[in-house]
Amino acid sequence: MVELELTGLAGPGSGGHSAAEISENVEGTLRLLDDGRELYAEQDFPVVKLAAALRRWLAVPAAGRASFSFDDDSFAMSQGVLVIDRVPDGWRFGSVYAPGEFSAALPDTAADQVVLIFLATLRREFAQLLGRELEQYC
Q: What is the pLDDT of residues 50-77, one digit of tens each?
A: 999 999 999 999 999 999 999 988 887 7
Report the DSSP beta bridge partners of residue 93: 84
Whether residue 14 is predicted with pLDDT greater than 60 in this model: the reply is no
Cβ atoms 21, 7 nearer than 8 A: no
Residue 84 has what pLDDT? 98
Whether residue 17 is predicted with pLDDT greater than 80 in this model: the reply is no
What H or E segment, with its residue span, contains residue 19? Answer: helix 19-25
Cβ atoms 57, 108 nearer than 8 A: no
Residue 103 has what pLDDT? 98
**How many structural domains is the chain composed of?**
1
pLDDT tens, position by position, 79-138: 889 999 999 999 999 999 999 999 999 999 999 999 999 999 999 999 999 888 999 888
Closest CA to 43 of 54, 27, 23: 27
Q: pLDDT band for 20, please (50, 70, 90 cuts).
A: confident
Whether residue 7 is predicted with pLDDT greater than 70 in this model: the reply is yes
Residue 109 has what pLDDT? 97
3-state secondary structure 86-135: EECCEEEEECCCCCCCECCCECHHHHHHHHHHHHHHHHHHHHHHHCCCHH
Q: What is the mean pLDDT of residues 2-31?
A: 87
Whether residue 21 is predicted with pLDDT greater than 90 in this model: the reply is no
DSSP 46: -
Domain span holding position 26:
2-136
What H or E segment, with its residue span, contains residue 53? Answer: helix 47-58
